Amino acid sequence: WHFHGYQPGDILYRIEDDPGKPIKFKERSWRVSIYSAERRISSNNWTDLMLKLYKELPKILDEITSIGARVSIDIEPQTLDLLAYKHPSTFRDIMRHLTEGTFELIMTYPFHPIVPHLEMPSIKDLTMIMRALYEPLLQESSFLGVWFPEGVLTVKTLDVLDKVMSKRQKRIFVIGDECHVRRSFGSSSTCPGVISNTPIILCPRSRSLSDAFSFSLLSTKELLKRLSDFLRTPTCSHCLLAMDLETLFYHEQKIEQFLLLLNKISKAQYSICSAGDFLERIIKRNLPIHEIVEYASWSGYSDVDSGFSLDSRWLGVRRKDFKVFSRKVYGVKISQVWKYA
């Protein structure tokens, strides 16, 4: 089970640009409130609200540990910085859990760019910065996990990642989506496999099961049955669920629903672990080869590129032919080409 944590989206601009001084920035002022665990929580914007809710994360991790489970989490560096600045006690609690090994920390690129959209020197620089930021926090393991923002990756970006990380002498894996795997290549799209032409392992999530939990498309009972049916298939005896960390705050009973589901999965004699822990168990197996769909994204517009979930959402034009497309907003077509501009 994997969670993706990224929250600095409401910073509008930096007031202080001198790198020798503490960062000062202007935030969006947009009052929001949600209910979580029967409590109303309010803040000036969505980012600040989510940072407040990170206070619940150590409690959730304690509950996960009591079940005998472990998850992996990637938390974007600026999110950690904002937590340390605004909610230092929460930051310390999360760091304590990390030190105790309660969860597996997955690296992710600073500032959440769509990595393949950057120039190659910038990709290399950001990869080196990512390594430097996370290196002091990483636990002892044979594996090193990475999450590409929005899941968008290419063989070239993976090659840069491999070269920058090669000195650590750990096997690299990336958290991905079944949309990354070419279905016709003869391997299950939700089983870990080595990415063709690279030494890197891809751990694809089940999009349907992940979305079913994220957006409450199924009850806990229905999701458990669907999961059990999935795990009994001959092609794959395991399944990765991955989603945004803020999923746990989508409605006031979501945390309770999550912990109930984990309890039921555990009682059904299934093991709940992080992606890295799972790879430690199966590394002696011959992993299949995955040919990837480059520029695929776990959150792309699948209706734009002939059913593929690609990066057109951020390009502003269709990836397959670079033609302009529109989205309907309140029934009105709005061109996305401004993103390309």
How much is the pLDDT for 186?
54
**Average pLDDT estimate for 212-229:** 93
Contact 297, 311 (CB under 8 A): yes
Please report the sign of the dihedral spanned by the C-alpha atoms of residue 330, residue 336, residue 337, residue 341.
positive
Q: Do residues 172 and 143 lie in contact, with contact meaning Cβ atoms separated by under 8 Å?
A: yes
Cα angle at 340 between 336 and 341, to 5 degrees?
105
Q: What is the pLDDT of residues 95-105, one digit of tens each?
A: 999 999 999 99
Average pLDDT over residues 219-225: 94
Using DSSP's 3-state secondary structure scheme, residue 251 falls into coil
> What's the mean per-residue pLDDT of the chain?
90
Q: So what's the pLDDT on residue 224?
A: 94
Give the SS3 label for residue 296: strand
- Taking the C-alpha atoms of residue 143 and residue 82, their distance in angstroms, rounded to an integer, is 28
pLDDT recorded at residue 292: 93
pTM of the complete model: 0.92
Selection from 138, 146, 57, 144 nearest residue 101 by Cα: 138
174: helix, strand or coil? strand
Q: What is the pLDDT of residue 187?
A: 58
Quick: pLDDT tens for 287-338: 889 999 999 999 988 888 888 899 999 998 999 899 998 888 899 988 888 8
Nearest by Cα to 335 from 304, 302, 299: 304
Torsion-angle region of 213 (φ positive above 0: left; ψ -120 to 50: alpha; else: beta): alpha
**Tens digits of per-residue pLDDT, 235-286?**
777 899 999 999 998 888 899 999 999 999 999 999 999 999 999 888 777 8
Task: Return the bridge partners of 242, or none.
Answer: 2
Q: How far is it, in rounded angstroms, from Cα 126 to Cα 120?
A: 10
Helical packing angle, 57-67 and 88-99, nearest 10°: 20
Nearest-CA neighbor of 6 among 62, 66, 54, 44?
Answer: 54
